[in-house]
Amino acid sequence: MGFEWLLAYLVLGAFVGFFAGLLGVGGGGIMVPVLTTMFAAQGFPREQMVHLALGTSMAAIVLTSISSLRAHHAHGAVRWDIVKGIAPGVLFGTFAGTFIAASAPTRPLAIFFGCFMAYVSVQMILNVKPKPSRELPGAGGLAGVGAGIGVISALVAIGGGSLSVPFMTWCNVRMQNAIGTSAAIGLPIALAGAAGYLINGWGSAGLPDGSLGYVFVPALVLISVVSFFTAPLGARLAHRLPVATLKKIFAGVLILLSAKMLHTVFGS
């Protein structure tokens, strides 16, 4: 791997960590399209580059989710009763979702990612917030919801916040607690997703040197190390910068990145 790619992964990690800290948005929305484009430029197999981008992103989210979880727990914002109820479903759904992703061809996978990111971006631009209209379901209901969140999270390499926060708000959980609890739910999603992509890609022919299954280790290490330091910086600036405006700009960036990813995947 040349110096220019080493530098590119470091810059990506800095960008991902900063915006994850600033806006509370998981890095998958940035990492997957950028990594797909970078992997294509490095000549990685076209039929595996989206799978590699998803797996590497999931693994990179592990470290940032631990950092985020600790910060929210320190502020007493995590509803551990919800985490306990939803975690089994999340673990199962995310792990199962990696098997669905691994069996899907690159192009349909890229289309699903692009459509989901468009949905997330529109929510951010319009500042959509569901009205509280019901209470949390029982253990079985929570596990079922967790499984659904896990499957989608595995297919788009996100920590689940864009799904779990609206769900909890809808169920009369205070926004501060919904965000904190979502950060805690992000860790089992990231762990199950990383493990699933590693297992599913194990032994696949044609993977680039430095891969463990569908996880490209050089990119993982460089992105994780830098994002670990830039995430707290973004979190500190969250109270000083116009977050509502930045969210709308960020949503536009997500749409552009997803469009670029689709162009890369369908470009040949």
Query: Could you give the CA distance from residue 51 to residue 136 in angstroms, rounded to a whole number?
Result: 34
Give 75-99 pLDDT, tens digit per residue.
Answer: 888 899 999 999 999 999 999 999 9
pLDDT band at 42 (very low <50, low <70, confident <90, very high): very high
- In degrees to the nearest 10, what's the CA dihedral of 256, 183, 239, 242? 20
Amino acid symbol at 263: H
Give 211-240 pLDDT, tens digit per residue.
Answer: 999 999 999 999 998 988 887 787 777 768
